[in-house]
Every structure is written in C-alpha cells, then in structure tokens.
Amino acid sequence: MFKPVKLSENIYYIGVNDRRTALFENMWPLPRGVAYNSYLIVDEKTTLIDTVEAGHAGKWLKKIQSIIDDKPIDYLVVNHMEPDHSGAINILRQLYPNIEIIGNKKTIPMIEGFYGITDNMKTINEGDTIDLGIHSLSFYTIPMVHWPESMVCFENTQKTLFSSDAFGSFGTLDGGIFDTEINIDYFEDEMRRYYSNIVGKYGNPVQKALSKLNGLDISTIAPSHGPIFKDNIQKVINWYDKWSQYIGEEGVVIAYASMYGNTEEMADVIARSIAENGIKNIRVYDVSKTHSSYILSDIFKYKGLILGSPTYSNELHPNMEALAMKLSHIGLSNHYFGTFGSFTWAGAAVKKLIETAENLKLEIIGEPVEEKQGLKKDKYEACIELGKVMAEKLKADRN
C-alpha cells in the first residue's frame, strides 16, 4: 500500500501534508499548505523523530505500520513541543504504551503540562549520544529556535541532522521530498516566510545554533517542515545566517495603510522615485489587503523599508499599527527606514512610525513626509526626495 521513502538504509521519511488548515498557529496563511515531517529509524531500538499535528495522525500511523508492521517502537524523540510536532503523542502512546519519550530537561515538564504524561520519559543532556544499534543519535539544544526546549539530533552514521523547525518551510511536499527532486527556488520564499513569521524574533539564538552545529559534518538536513536537503545544505545555512542577522538585499518594501487614497498616492510617488533612481526591487503593499505574513517576509528580504499611514483617531491606522507592532515584537534591525503619511485635522501617524523605528534602532533615511488632506506640490516633491534619498543610500552599499 505505502512505498516507504528512505533517507538512507533504515531511515524513513514518514511526514504528512496538510492542505486543509487555512492558518498556521491560527494566524499565518497557508495557501500552499504545510508539511509536518516525522522520521523513523528502524534498528535494534526503533525510534521515531517527532510526531505530527494531531488531526493528521491517522495517515502518519499508517505509514509507520506499513514499515514496521506490528513491531514495537522503542523511542520517541521530541525535538520540539509545539503541537504541530507533538500533537499525536497521546494517540501514539495508546498504540505503543511502552514507548519511551526522549527529551531534554525543558521538554519533559512541557510534555506533562500539555499532555499529562509523567512516565516512560528519558531526559538527555546537551551532547549526549544514544545508541540505537547500528545507528546512534547525538543531541544538541537550540533554545528559542523556536521554543526554549527546541533541540536537534544528529544521526552519526548517515550524518543526518534532524533539525526541527530550523530550515523548515511552509508549503506541502507535492511529490518531491528531497531537494534533489524539486526546484529549490520554489521553496526559498516559503522558507523565508516561515523563518520571518515564526522564528524571526530569534536572530541571536539562530546565530548561536549555527555556531554550535558548525562542527558537524552534515550530509543531510531533515527539518520538521518542507523539503529535506542533500544538495543545498550550504545554501540553506547561508540563508539562515543572512536572515538571522536581518541582512537584506538591495530593494525596498513600501507598506502603507490608506482609507481614501491620499497615503496610497504618496506611496506610489515614492516608489516611482526609487525606480527612477535605479532600484529595481520595489514591493508596495496595502496592509489592509495583503497579510502581514507576506509583507514581513519581503521586509526580511530587502534592506529598505518605508512605512506610511494616515492618522486615525490620533493614532496609526489600526492595520499599520498591527504591522508596526509585529516589527517591534520581532526586533527588526539592520534596515534603512523612511516614513510618510497624511491626516485631516491633526497629524500623529508619522511621529508614531518614527518612534517605532527609533525603538528598533533602525537607520532613518530622508525627511519624513506628512501631508494634510490631499497631496499637494510641496509634499509631492518631498515624496520624490524621500524615494531618491532611499535609492541613493541603497546604491552606496554596492561598493
């Protein structure tokens, strides 16, 4: 019935695709779905690496049983407790009551807290190795990539890193599971969107994790979402290195809120000026239309950021306020920042956007532009100047 997918002899991919869930964490859109990856090592000690989201346990168990039939499973390694990976633990325990759960000292209390499980658990420490027979697993904690208990394990004979959320992507695995079987460019955007939405706040912990794993001789990266990497290992490590330092490439995201089109008009004038001054990557978003998931992803991609908002009840437009708050939560850094906006009787939005940028210690570029009511000549020219200054700043980095 099920043709097993092998990473190597006796190591299997047993993940599942989710094309039904609309929002990951009930927040982030999944137009291309998401895969919950899980792995099975068949050895003297048969071992599972993570489970899947609870609603997908049926098809996952079918894959397991098609490989090991009615044999027992000795260990479940819980690399990460977020329920997209741990959700099927109780279902698994009902079928395999003697299974021993392996986690670190932060995982174990979470398993009790989430699932009420207190027995058959084994605590491992940083650097510990467990022999499974021919295979062996060594454990490394990567706190805050994505939760405090997050860890990875490294299978020593096949040099396979089970990397948990790290290097994971949104998007289902539509036939191709390994990077050798797919066009990896398709997944770059979805990996950056996953990174920026889910892990983006934790740049420093990601840098520490990359340093820690730097000494491993990795031949395969097997994440908990998205493709498995064999040919593009250095490429995805480089992506993570860049994103975790908030290093953007040449380009500008202009995100604005607009009720009646005045702020939008300013956005288009600024965008045109940036283009006329030689920058080719310009992405303009209406925050009331495009979900912040995609805007954040492009903000991580490009070095320049310009935010615009009308003043709404002496505050930011609420949809721009939500984006600004997300940027604050993430702790965005290392970007050039400009701002603009409009108001009808008293301006406040631009001041609030500048406060956001100052709190994040972003480099503010050009003069903020704030217009009263419709766009007129002086502020039109100020928008052109803001675009020009941003473009010149980006071009200066070419050298």
Residues forming contacts to ligand FEO in the complex (CB under 6 A) are 80, 82, 84-85, 146, 165, 224-225
| Nearer Cβ to ligand FEO (53/74) | 53
Q: How far is the CB of 261 from ligand FEO (least distance, A)?
A: 40
- 244 is written with which tokens? 């975790």
Q: How far is the CB of 221 from ligand FEO (least distance, A)?
A: 15
| Nearer Cβ to ligand FEO (15/366) | 15
DSSP state of 156: T
Q: Closest Cα to residue 123, out of 147, 146, 111, 107?
A: 107
Rounding to the nearest 10 degrees, give the CA dihedral for residues 357, 362, 366, 368. Answer: 0
| Nearer Cβ to ligand FEO (165/179) | 165
Q: What are phi and psi of 52, to 5 degrees?
A: -135, 175
Separation between Cα atoms, residue 303 and residue 252, nearest integer Å: 6
Separation between Cα atoms, residue 221 and residue 219, nearest integer Å: 7
Q: How far is the CB of 81 from ligand FEO (least distance, A)?
A: 8
Q: How far is the CB of 225 from ligand FEO (least distance, A)?
A: 6
Expressed in percent and rounded to 5, the helix, strand and coil fractions of the chain are 35, 25, 40
| Nearer Cβ to ligand FEO (194/343) | 194
Q: Quick one: angle between helices 233-244 and 185-194, nearest 10? A: 40
User: Cβ(254)–Cβ(287) under 8 Å?
Assistant: no
Q: How far is the CB of 224 from ligand FEO (least distance, A)?
A: 5
Residue 24: beta bridge partners? 28
Write b or e for each residue in 30-47: b if 16 or more Cβ atoms lie within 10 A of its Cβ, otherwise e.
bebbbbbbbbbbbbebbb
Q: How far is the CB of 148 from ligand FEO (least distance, A)?
A: 11
Q: How far is the CB of 53 from ligand FEO (least distance, A)?
A: 9
Point out the residue whose Cβ comes nearest to ligand FEO.
82
| Nearer Cβ to ligand FEO (84/155) | 84
Separation between Cα atoms, residue 288 and residue 291, nearest integer Å: 8
Separation between Cα atoms, residue 281 and residue 16, nearest integer Å: 36
| Nearer Cβ to ligand FEO (80/301) | 80
Q: How far is the CB of 140 from ligand FEO (least distance, A)?
A: 17
Q: How far is the CB of 124 from ligand FEO (least distance, A)?
A: 20
| Nearer Cβ to ligand FEO (166/362) | 166
Find the angle CA(126)-CA(127)-CA(133) to the nearest 5 degrees.
125
| Nearer Cβ to ligand FEO (146/379) | 146
For residue 58, give the 3-state DSSP assignment: helix
- Conformational region of residue 33, where left means phi above 0, alpha means psi within -120 to 50, and beta covers everything else: left
User: Cβ(159)–Cβ(218) under 8 Å?
Assistant: yes
| Nearer Cβ to ligand FEO (147/343) | 147
Q: How far is the CB of 108 from ligand FEO (least distance, A)?
A: 18
Question: What is the CB neighbour count within 10 angstroms for residue 356?
Answer: 21
Q: How far is the CB of 58 from ligand FEO (least distance, A)?
A: 20
Separation between Cα atoms, residue 24 and residue 56, nearest integer Å: 14
| Nearer Cβ to ligand FEO (200/310) | 200
| Nearer Cβ to ligand FEO (20/377) | 20
Beta strands in 50-150 (DSSP E): 75-77, 100-103, 121-123, 129-131, 136-141
